[in-house]
Structure 1
Amino acid sequence: MASYKQLTAQLEKLHKEVAAAREKEIAAAIADIKQKIAEYDLSAEELGFASSRTVARKTPSVAKYRNPKTGETWSGRGRAPAWLAGKNRERFRIEG
């Protein structure tokens, strides 16, 4: 029966062989995929990927509160800023 030291050495060797085989197979798969994309002139949209034109863009939130001393604003989303903590928010509300 093999010793613990021998088994761990074999395991490490197998891990290295697995990593090498994976890298080789991935490289072959990527090359095959690239060849098929070129052969059939496929686009990202045809492959099921969102186009860069259809990606939703986040719009900044509209400020609802303003610190009159610094001009700093807060949209009312997320954690309240320190300058507003414990105070009546209505006093800092932006009209409009």
Structure 2
Amino acid sequence: MDERKRDSMVAYLRRRMAEVGIELDDLAAAIAEDQIRQKTARYRSATGETWSGDGEMPQWLKQAISAGQSLEHFAVARAVQREPETRSKVDWRQDPFAGSRLAAVQPSHREL
């Protein structure tokens, strides 16, 4: 989006917020609340609907389960911190075939 369109959109939003009586603090609080709600979601549909697992199961999830889908299918995957795998370094200077045709040929594993 170019700068003029962006400035125009910001001016429009500020004007509409003033007409309706929405303050920037109200907007910031609503965004923060949405982020908290999204973080606590345990189940999410393909369209972005979420459920925390508390209270009554929402209709979209009831319908999916009655259609044969499992509850685990909708479970939100938790980010698991893994340490990056380190590969062992290969010293190609010691490889007698490096740079030759033999290094590029794939071995044939056919059984006769």
Say whether the fold is shared (TM-score over 0.5): no
Higher relative contact order structure (alpha carbons within 8 Å, sequence separation ≥ 6) = 1
TM-score where L is the length of structure 2: 0.30
TM-score where L is the length of structure 1: 0.34
User: Which of 1 and 2 has greater Rg?
Assistant: 1
